[in-house]
A and B are shown apart, each in its own frame.
Chain A
């Protein structure tokens, strides 16, 4: 937490950056999830499409985000997600949750988990499930920091 920010309390709303990285333009899922998180009382920053991993991490840093959610449907997840995780480590954003969703083969999920992508939502996941997960995962992180 930066020194200038007001003292964090348990009531500070969860801030989530919902991002689309790479050239992938499929943004229906990202926008629906962004809406659902906002309706659930979170502060949501949606990046728009075609962000570089560097831009996503910069946005998360500037917005003092609790969580970063990536939506990937282009098949580039094995490059983009590890790259974002790496940049987040470099920026010492260890307290920020990184999760993803989209068209990602199940076989790729263990590899992504290893580099720090805590959870991957696959097609068919409900909005309720995603909202509940973000709430619980952020609470857990806040509790331990």
Chain B
């Protein structure tokens, strides 16, 4: 029997509007759409179809350009992964420095190409293991680190001039960096041969991550000190990794993550320029760090938009002669917040998709989360699987064979434009405060993020956002997975070690170093040389941080919610 539902079997729509009314609407009438609305994770509306009509006036050279060329939408390297794969950098650190050193050697033996250190909460907060507030936290969320003595053990038998090291440290970043530099010095390795990154992103601490030590403006001064010192003495070091990761994990949407991160980056450049630094020298050492969440295409678009916006904003504001100042290089990490404790093996699949999005977005470096990370720091087996995920994408999937394979997709280019417009809107708002420091002091990004996290949680609770294994496809009984346990003896051992360090060091040299640090802080001089001298004579992270708090005061959480 002939069916008459198709009115004109060979009809060809001449526009998207015509297709929508003539072809799509009748189809949807027969088979309704599954959801009342289609939105990205950032609540941007998604049309059923994208065509050339969604990119009016699209100018290839202006919007995309060629890889390695302005505005770098398609990538900062001309050959991208055909030349060199991204750095597979697994964030690791737990227990005493000995424990983490063993994990580093294991990771290097398994093919990681860069190290990334996770420090414990006491270190992140600039406190020694024997500080009363460190009780119960030593070595738990990362490796314990109090002095050069710990740094020596952590990097034992690791070639500091061959491996690049990223260190996730912010409030006391300059101090911990000084410990790393002092360790290299002691081993006879020149500072200009060291490569790596300190996160050192003070602004996002107040916005999201909450590991601050001193108030905002003093923290900015410390960051600029590292820019100045680094560009002269440690030229291969990335002195900052401007981080959207924590902003996103705290609940921001992808558009908020993108906007606040780039606006933070621009604020650092502004402060560096105000110090009298040359944009051609310090801006190329600014690197970035983005989250990669579940919404595949939105994430790809975010990376592409980030490069384009950065290149344009730096060009527009500073006209650097060094083109590298325009290139946004970034690390990426899959979204810890998207993982579920329930049915934890599902996390492997989430991580794979997120990692693929980062690669298609053109990241320079990647950390893949382990399936057990909603419970604890990863076991060796879990971290190996996470690394294998990257290796399979790199070597088996074929996505690395051409540059920016999604470039030119109507949808991806549309989303990239949407991201850029969202940035422009936030830029205008933040500029109305005077800049990012002022916006943070007024709690603006903090409140925006809290709103988004609440909105998202409400949608999950209402079942409008499906989380597999939580609000759909849940199961009652689950077998436990193996977890990494931290030996409670670590805390006692680390307390004993820091106390021995204090007892054994040269007290006269230590006193002189601490006094010089205090004087330099009061006189607003660059503190890096003083942290380095403190590190050499085994001053502790807690002691040097203590001097900063004494001079600059402490920051207290205003508790916005």
Instruction: Write the residues of chain A forming the contact surface with B, with a CB cutoff of 8 angstroms.
Output: 22-28, 30-32, 34-36, 44, 46-50, 52, 74-76, 78-80, 103, 105-106, 122-124, 126-128
Of A23, A35, A44, A47, which one neighbours B122 at CB under 8 angstroms?
A23
Binds A, one of B266-274, B451-459, B518-526: B451-459
Contacts of A128 in B (CB 8 A): 461
A46 to B337, CA, bound (A): 22
The CA of A105 and the CA of B132, in the complex, are separated in Å by: 24
**Taking the complex as formed, is B111 at the interface, i.e. its CB lies under 8 A from any CB of chain A?**
no
Kindly identify which residue among B135, B141, B556 contacts A79, using a CB–CB cutoff of 8 Å. B135
Chain A residue nearest to B446 (CB atoms) is A31
Interface CB pairs A-B, < 8 A, 17: A23-B133, A23-B137, A25-B209, A31-B453, A31-B454, A31-B560, A32-B251, A48-B557, A52-B132, A74-B137, A75-B141, A75-B486, A105-B375, A105-B376, A123-B341, A124-B341, A126-B460
* CB closest residue in chain A, given B251: A28
Q: Which of A44, A76, A124 is in CB contact (< 8 Å) with B136?
A: A76
In the bound complex, what is the Cα–Cα distance between A32 and B561 (angstroms)? 8
CB distance from B133 to the nearest CB of A (A): 6
- Residues from chain A with Cβ under 8 Å of B299 in the complex: none
Contacts of A47 in B (CB 8 A): 559
Within the complex, which residue of B134, B210, B470, B561 is in contact with A124, where a contact is CB–CB below 8 Å? B470
Q: Which of B84-134 contact A (CB under 8 A)?
A: 121-122, 124-125, 127, 132-134
Q: Which of A25, A46, A78, A79: most chain B Cβ within 10 A? A: A25
Q: Which chain A positions have C-beta within 8 A of B557?
A: 48-50
Q: Which residues of B contact A (CB under 8 A)?
A: 121-122, 124-125, 127, 132-137, 140-141, 209-211, 249-251, 337, 340-342, 374-376, 450, 453-454, 457-458, 460-461, 470, 480, 483, 486, 556-561
Q: B457 near A32 (CB under 8 angstroms)?
A: yes
Known: A103-B374, A105-B376, A122-B341. A32 touches B453 (CB 8 A): yes
Assess whether A28 is in contact with B470, with CB atoms less than 8 Å apart: no
Docked pose: A61 CA to B210 CA in angstroms: 26
CA distance A44 to B559 in the complex (A): 12
Q: 19 other contacts beyond A35-B450, A48-B557, A105-B483, with CB at 8 A cut-off?
A: A23-B122, A24-B121, A26-B210, A28-B337, A30-B561, A31-B454, A32-B450, A35-B454, A46-B561, A49-B210, A49-B557, A52-B133, A76-B121, A79-B135, A80-B136, A105-B376, A106-B480, A126-B461, A128-B461
Q: Which residues of chain B are within 8 angstroms of A78 by Cβ–Cβ distance?
A: 136
Give the chain B neighbours of A52 by CB distance below 8 A: 132-133
Most buried by A among B134, B450, B461, B561: B561
Q: CB < 8 Å: which of B136, B250, B376 contacts A28? A: B250
Q: Tell me which residues across on chain A come within 8 A of B374, comparing CB atoms.
A: 103, 123
A residues within 8 A CB of B251? Answer: 28, 32
Residues of A within 8 A of B461 (CB): 126-128
CA distance A51 to B442 in the complex (A): 22
Are A103 and B486 in contact (CB-based, < 8 A)? no
- Say whether, besides A75-B141, A103-B374, A124 and B342 are in contact (CB < 8 Å): yes
CA–CA, A24 and B137, complex, Å: 9
Whether A32 pairs with B127 at a CB distance below 8 angstroms is no
* Closest Cβ–Cβ distance, residue B253 to chain A (whole Å): 13
